[in-house]
Chains A and B, each alone.
Chain A
């Protein structure tokens, strides 16, 4: 089976812009989670979707949003970008909630 794919892999934006990141889970996986990784804060949970519903949300401002489609693909959106949003954004999928997560390679976002 193909692994989790994320697009784009690298992105450069300027402050105030918005960005949309995409994640395609492993075929058959219905749960998709998003994480932000920075040197200072480590791996932080953003949100989790299961069957198109947001099941859990981390402590991030409302500028961070996401959604999941009927084919389980997921997107996350960050509006009004700030310098501190520069990070590696990781997507992970699992067959069911609470099971082993399989991570994509991540999208590295740089905000200038």
Chain B
């Protein structure tokens, strides 16, 4: 099963509406990141939120992190057609026994369609 799982799998909204995507994970994490991917191209980093942070903003993006529930949400406000893409959350964890970071795990993604 996935470490990170986005919900919903697909979302279709009208331009101007807000879009909310959720991510759940299973193990303790060091940080959580959100990425966007357009049409099978490379991923673009959106936001990194650390485990000791609860909320972070970047332009029209707002990310929350609830470590007690092992979940995060990405809110895109006033969506635009250009926001149409797949959105992924990715988690990693600092493994103290190894004194290094474990591999980054990506969820299956949420496919967002913004209709003009």
Contacts and interface: CB of A to CB of B under 8 A. Distances in A.
Interface of A: 4, 33, 35, 37, 42-45, 48, 55-58, 88, 90, 92, 97-106, 108
Nearest to B105: A45
Interface in B83-105: 88, 90, 92, 94, 100-105
A106 B42 contact: yes
Interface residues on B, range: 20 to 34
Contacts of A45: 103-106
B101 A98 contact: yes
Given A33-B103, A42-B108, A100-B33, 20 more contacts: A42-B107, A42-B109, A43-B88, A43-B106, A43-B109, A44-B106, A55-B101, A56-B100, A56-B103, A58-B103, A88-B40, A90-B43, A92-B43, A97-B101, A98-B30, A100-B48, A101-B33, A103-B35, A103-B44, A105-B42
Contact of A101 (B30, B104, B107, B109): B104
A63 B107 CA distance: 25
Contact of A35 (B40, B106, B107): B106
B104 A33 contact: yes
Tell me the dominant secondary structure on chain A's binding face: strand
A103 B38 CA distance: 13
Nearest to A98: B101
Nearest to B109: A42
A43 B105 CA distance: 8
A65 B2 CA distance: 24
A44 B106 CA distance: 7
B102 A100 contact: no
Contacts of B45: 100-103
A104 B37 CA distance: 11
Contacts of A103: 35, 42-45
